[in-house]
Structure 1
Amino acid sequence: MTYLLNAFSLLLGLVFDAAAALFVLRLLAEASRADFHNPLSQFVYRYSNPVLAPLRRVLPNWRRLNLAALLVAWLVLLLKQLALAALAGFVPALPGLLVLAVAALVDFVLITWLVLVFGWSLLSMLQPDGYHPLLRFAGALAAPLLRPLRGRLTVGMIDFSPTVVIVALLLARLLVAAPLYDLGARLAG
């Protein structure tokens, strides 16, 4: 029976992660001013807008940060934590659940950026069509992290700024997200 429960929790986690990814990508796309004419930007906008449009009337943007998308991503990850705990037969305390959801959101954003920077740097080394929608979308979302280091860590023809950003993101996962998870687990009981 535990094999079936593990399979079900994996599928449930994938569904919640896909929903959270949609809203995190919307958050990052608006923050980095990704090209709206890109088909991937339009996909993210089209499928996240029915949920975010009513919320944006109540919760407007702060600078370039879409607070409604941030709230919905946090709520999705909160529901994921609650559903996985319920499947395990455990009901966490509310403060612990809230902190676990914050930790999951921070970790999810860091992993998303990690995948985007790694994927963009890998694709740019392979020299595909520069106008490919995936390359342009990943480049736009990775640009705010890479821009401060661009051209400063170049040796010959190789730019090491993506490597430094990836290491910084991994360190942020270890030093920010992991302690938040530990705090949430202690508070959850």
Structure 2
Amino acid sequence: MSYLANALSMLIQFAFGAIATLFLCRLLAEATRAEFRNPLSQFIYRYTNPVLAPIRKVLPNWRYINLAALLMVWLALLIERVLILALGGIFPQVLGLLVMSLADLVDFVLLFYIVVIFGWSLLSMLSTDPYQPLMRFAGAIADPLLRPLRGKLVAGSIDFSPTVVVIVLLLARILLAQPLLDLGARLSLGNG
């Protein structure tokens, strides 16, 4: 790829990554029942609702899972994948492209959780105000993954449950997302 194509690729990844992150935050905020009065939750709701409201009329929630937000995350990653491949002059088969975008979705969610748990753990060790909006939001999102191990992996006054969860998430990226991405790449080239 040329330097210009690399620069465009970076801008595409940044733009669609930001869009996917916004809709993923909406999805996880609803799924974890994050506090709606939190200014961060209100920001996310304000900027995602105009897109999600019409889609939710056709694709309603399933339990606490906002399927419209999940669809938007997947579409953002699919469009990102198409644009980056087109920059490289690659036009994959549709089935392979769909599988690769599904792998991108799985990997994106896993990486998002790694960043949230790491950031939340770091900020909580630095005695950050627990009522700060970002801390409350990150804590609400991270809690379902940390709750089963919380208090069970304590040495001294250090809880190692975030470390174990991050290691499991990293392993899931290697053992789940990467093989799915490889399958999608083979299918996109017609080597299924």
Separation of aligned partners in 1, 2:84 and 2:160: 39
Aligned to 1:95: 95
1:108-127 equivalences in 2 (<5 Å):
108-127=108-127
The DSSP-based 3-state class of the residue aligned with 2:35 is coil
Letter in 2 for 1:24: L
Using the TM superposition, give the Cα deviation of residue 128 of structure 1 relative to its aligned residue in structure 2, in angstroms: 1.1
Aligned to 1:167: 167
Aligned to 2:57: 57
Separation of aligned partners in 1, 2:82 and 2:128: 42
1:111-150 equivalences in 2 (<5 Å):
111-150=111-150
Using the TM superposition, give the Cα deviation of residue 12 of structure 1 relative to its aligned residue in structure 2, in angstroms: 1.1
Using the TM superposition, give the Cα deviation of residue 93 of structure 1 relative to its aligned residue in structure 2, in angstroms: 0.3
For residues 1-54 of structure 1, what are the alpha-carbon distances to aligned partners after superposition, in whole Å with 9 as ceiling and x for unaligned? 811110111011110111011111111111111011111111111111111000
Aligned to 1:26: 26
Separation of aligned partners in 2, 1:124 and 1:106: 27
Letter in 1 for 2:127: Q
Separation of aligned partners in 1, 2:80 and 2:128: 37
Separation of aligned partners in 2, 1:26 and 1:129: 23
Separation of aligned partners in 2, 1:9 and 1:128: 36
Using the TM superposition, give the Cα deviation of residue 156 of structure 1 relative to its aligned residue in structure 2, in angstroms: 1.4
Separation of aligned partners in 2, 1:24 and 1:101: 15
The DSSP-based 3-state class of the residue aligned with 1:92 is coil
- Residue correspondences, number: 189
Separation of aligned partners in 2, 1:13 and 1:115: 17
* Structure 2 residue 104 is matched with structure 1 residue 104: yes
Aligned to 1:184: 184
Letter in 2 for 1:39: P
Separation of aligned partners in 1, 2:114 and 2:45: 22
Any unmatched runs of 5+ in structure 1? none
Segments ≥4 residues shifted beyond 3 Å? none
1:67-78 equivalences in 2 (<5 Å):
67-78=67-78
Separation of aligned partners in 2, 1:115 and 1:159: 18
Identity %: 64
Using the TM superposition, give the Cα deviation of residue 130 of structure 1 relative to its aligned residue in structure 2, in angstroms: 1.4
The DSSP-based 3-state class of the residue aligned with 2:34 is coil
Using the TM superposition, give the Cα deviation of residue 126 of structure 1 relative to its aligned residue in structure 2, in angstroms: 0.3
Over aligned residues, Cα RMSD in angstroms? 0.8
Q: TM-score, normalised by structure 1?
A: 0.98
Separation of aligned partners in 1, 2:3 and 2:79: 22
Separation of aligned partners in 2, 1:4 and 1:86: 14
The DSSP-based 3-state class of the residue aligned with 2:148 is coil
